Amino acid sequence: MSKILVFIIAAAAWFPSTGQTSSLRNTVADSLFAICEQKVATAPEIVIDIATRLLATQQPGSFNAGKCNYYLGKAGRHAGRLDTALRCLQAATGVFRACADTLYECRSLRETGAVHYLLNENDKALHCYSRALALASERKLIHEVISLSNNIGNLYDKQRHYDKAVAQYENGLKLHPDAEQRAVLLLNMAKAHTGLGKLDKALQLYRESAAICRSRNDAAGVIAALNGVASVYWNQERDGEVLKVSESLLRLLRHSGAPADLIETHNRMGLAYLNLGNTAMAINHFMEALAPARRIAYPNTHYIYANLAFAYEQAGQYKQAYRYFTKHRHLQDSIENIEKHKQLEDLLAKYEADKKERQITLLKQDKELQALKLQQQRAAFNRQAVIRNSIIIIASLLLVLSVTLLIFYRQRMQSNLLLAAKTEEVNRQHILELIHGQEIRTIKANMEGRENERRRIARELHDGVAGSLAGIKLHLVKIAETHAGDAGLQKVIKNVDVVYGEVRNISHNLNPPRVLDTAFIDLLRGQLAQLAENSGLRIDLICHPEEWLNQLPNALKIEVYRIVQELVTNIVKHAEAGSVEIQFTRNDDATVNLMVEDNGKGFDRSKLSFGQGLTNIQTRVNQINGTLHIESHKGRGTIVNIDIPVQEQETQPVPASNY
């Protein structure tokens, strides 16, 4: 094996530096994979070393990289490195799927299922086996289908679903497996029939499997089958047949180097001889089992000690019996039942009787008396156990009933509390909605009253003050016709004309915008153009989407119009700005955003005080449930950002009579 390992190391080192063709490297890799397949069960550590070195020479994601991970996972399973095996097999499965290699994808899934089987993750194991079986059936990979049927059968057998296990094994046999697969299927089916209690059928299947293995010179298979035959005979209490089959097993095991099978066979033969009353042969076989058990630290060595104690006790050698029973006790932390405890007491009593030969007869009588007492104690213990178990069952039922009633009561109380809380929440929400509706109606009434008052004042200014100023201007013009050279009179006429224009502008500004007569964005552009012309400012307006914004509720458009008007007026009066940019855009279906930015002198926000203009703007924003944010720094201009919820506004248009 060391020569093989040296060869593998040299080959792995040769791959990256050679100038040979890809075909030659693949041939060497295939040879290494063949060695991995041969040695994976018997020398997993060597296979792990080979696959690891070979993986370092492969292109990630290539088919050969997938095979390296496959053998790393398979060898890891045999070596007991189950977590590493899972990781490598999952990587291999992904590569094989990407390469569309169904055969190795099936094999990789089957190995993954085997790892989950060892981890007792039965559901995951069945999932992997089922996926692999579906792929193999689809691509008619008969050999894989048979192997997977056997794997699924083993999983069901482990879960004691023996009927399902037998059905899987039969499915595999129907596909005409080769001799090796047939022998394995028959062997496993025999185990399942043993679990079902069909011992004659199991015996027949074990014999068929053994016959096939003999024809193939498969010593391991013959040993497994004969072990099964011996276990069936043991269950049937046919001790003579057990001994005959076990003798045949011993002849095979002396050449197979399987110490565990040798230990179990000698131990079974010792028990059979013990049942037949041949204590000498029983002790001999127990001793034959004990020697290798000590050598390999066999996990069930304490049972062999116990069997030796029983054999020596039956032979009347109580000192030896006590010696081996003591060893059994040291290996097993505690005696688990009353019967073993009584047997220890009997052995101690018999040991004392051996030291006092003159009391042998008395001790025999005492033994019989102890046996009778033991039977009585067992009967009393059984009665007490029945009574205790009955009390426990009744108490458990009462406890379950009490817990169920308590849970039901608590759920009922919780449901009532939740219902009361829900009702209270609904009532509170209804009250809040009523209050909110009243507030909205109040705000709308205030807005409508304010607009009516604006219209009244505008009408008075237009019809009263403006009319009077117009009359005064005409009268002054007539007087100027007779005093053509009077410069003072011309100045008065000019001042009256200016005042007349200002009164008309105030009258027009106080009137609500004509949102029903003109598209709102066009109306806004016209107002801003007039403000730009009067103030000398450069005003840019960006609106998007205009069609959607034109369809906003009329009340909302009026407020936006007034807010823009007030903001631009404030900029003209206080900002010393040269340009203003206004953006009126839609955020989403629920809100619109108005942002007004100037390049004026700005101000210190920590010293911000709300004058009449900002107060008016804040009031209007509050009335439409919006939010106002002002950002400014000295020398860097001012940004006013307003978000307005659309869905909370009234959708009815403002009546035409308001304009």
**pLDDT of the residue at 368:** 79
Separation of alpha carbons 85 and 64, rounded Å: 17
For residue 543, the cross-strand partners are 584
pLDDT, tens digit, 9 for 90 and up, residues 54-105: 998 889 999 999 999 999 999 999 999 999 999 999 999 999 999 999 999 9
**pLDDT of the residue at 341:** 52
**pLDDT of the residue at 346:** 56
326 Cβ contact partners less than 8 Å away, ≥ 6 residues apart: none
Q: In what order do the strands lie in the sheet with 638-645?
A: 538-544, 579-586, 591-598, 638-645, 627-632
Q: Where does the pLDDT of residue 238 fall: very low under 50, low under 70, confident under 90, or very high at 90 and above?
A: very high
Q: Tokens 């011996």 map to which residue?
A: 230
Mean pLDDT, the chain, rounded, equals: 83
Farthest-apart Cα atoms in the chain, separation = 173
**Which of 9-18, 335-344, 604-613 is the most confident on average?**
604-613
pLDDT, tens digit, 9 for 90 and up, residues 194-219: 999 999 999 999 999 999 999 999 88
**pLDDT of the residue at 412:** 87
pLDDT, tens digit, 9 for 90 and up, residues 345-361: 555 555 555 555 656 66
Separation of alpha carbons 132 and 137, rounded Å: 9
Q: Are 152 and 133 in contact (CB under 8 A)?
A: yes
Tally of residues, the chain = 659
- pLDDT of 235 > 60? The answer is yes
Average pLDDT, stretch 587-602? 88
Q: Where does the pLDDT of residue 559 fall: very low under 50, low under 70, confident under 90, or very high at 90 and above?
A: confident
3-state secondary structure 100-158: CCHHHHHHHHHHHHHHHHHCCCHHHHHHHHHHHHHHHHHCCCHHHHHHHHHHHHHHHHH
**pLDDT of the residue at 514:** 56
Separation of alpha carbons 618 and 608, rounded Å: 14
Which tokens is 357 given? 């030969």
Average pLDDT, stretch 528-537? 86
- pLDDT of 169 > 90? The answer is yes
Q: Which amino acid is at 624?
A: I
**pLDDT of the residue at 97:** 94
pLDDT, tens digit, 9 for 90 and up, residues 410-455: 888 888 888 888 888 888 888 887 776 676 566 566 666 766 776 6
Q: Is the pTM of this model over 0.75?
A: no
- pLDDT of 335 > 50? The answer is no
**pLDDT of the residue at 194:** 93
Average pLDDT, stretch 405-411? 88
Q: Which of 556, 576, 563, 578 is nearest to 619 (CA)?
A: 563
If you ran DSSP here, which 8-state letter would residue 21 be given? -
Q: Where does the pLDDT of residue 657 fall: very low under 50, low under 70, confident under 90, or very high at 90 and above?
A: very low
- pLDDT of 283 > 90? The answer is yes
Separation of alpha carbons 617 and 568, rounded Å: 11
Strands (E), 455-549: 538-544
- pLDDT of 10 > 70? The answer is no
pLDDT, tens digit, 9 for 90 and up, residues 378-391: 888 888 888 988 89
Q: Which of 263, 257, 267, 324 is nearest to 298 (CA)?
A: 263
514-658: CATH class: alpha beta
Q: Where does the pLDDT of residue 21 fall: very low under 50, low under 70, confident under 90, or very high at 90 and above?
A: low
- pLDDT of 221 > 70? The answer is yes
**pLDDT of the residue at 653:** 46
- pLDDT of 502 > 70? The answer is no
If you ran DSSP here, which 8-state letter would residue 535 be given? H
**pLDDT of the residue at 451:** 66
Q: Are 35 and 4 in contact (CB under 8 A)?
A: yes
Average pLDDT, stretch 126-155? 94
Q: Tokens 């697969």 map to which residue?
A: 181
Q: Tokens 């008052």 map to which residue?
A: 453
What percentage of the chain has pLDDT greater than the value 90? 42
- pLDDT of 563 > 80? The answer is yes
What SS3 state is found at 20? Answer: coil
If you ran DSSP here, which 8-state letter would residue 49 be given? H
Average pLDDT, stretch 224-240? 92
Q: Where does the pLDDT of residue 659 fall: very low under 50, low under 70, confident under 90, or very high at 90 and above?
A: very low
Residues 256-278, buried b or exposed e (16+ Cβ, 10 A)? eeebebbbbbbbbbbbbbbeeeb
Separation of alpha carbons 115 and 93, rounded Å: 14
pLDDT, tens digit, 9 for 90 and up, residues 290-317: 989 888 888 888 889 999 999 999 999 9
- pLDDT of 490 > 90? The answer is no
Q: Are 129 and 112 in contact (CB under 8 A)?
A: no
Q: Where does the pLDDT of residue 654 fall: very low under 50, low under 70, confident under 90, or very high at 90 and above?
A: very low
Give CA 299 to chain center in angstroms: 39
Residue 184 CB neighbour total at 10 angstroms: 22
What percentage of the chain has pLDDT greater than the value 70? 80
